[in-house]
Amino acid sequence: MVIEISWPALDQIVCAQHLFYDVTLGQDAISERISYARQPSKLPVALGIDKVACFLDTSPSLKSRTALTTVYSAVLCMSEVVLFKITDIDNRRMVIWAEQGKG
Q: What is the Rg, in whole angstroms, of the alpha carbon atoms belonging to the chain?
A: 24
Which pTM does this prediction carry?
A: 0.47
Asked whether 91 and 101 are in contact (CB, 8 A), the reply is: no
Top-confidence residue, 54 or 97:
54
Q: In the chain, what percentage of residues exceed pLDDT 70?
A: 96
Q: Chain-centre distance of CA 61, in angstroms?
A: 31
Please report the pLDDT score of residue 50 as a whole number.
92
Rounded to 5 degrees, φ, ψ at 30 are -70, -40
* Each residue's pLDDT tens digit, 14-64: 889 988 988 888 888 887 888 887 777 888 888 888 998 898 899 899 988
CA distance 10 to 84: 41
Query: Taking CA 56 as the corner, what is the angle to CA 52 and CA 62, rounded to the nearest 5 degrees?
Result: 155
- Average of pLDDT values for 78-90? 81
What number of residues does the chain have?
A: 103
Q: In the chain, what percentage of residues exceed pLDDT 90?
A: 6
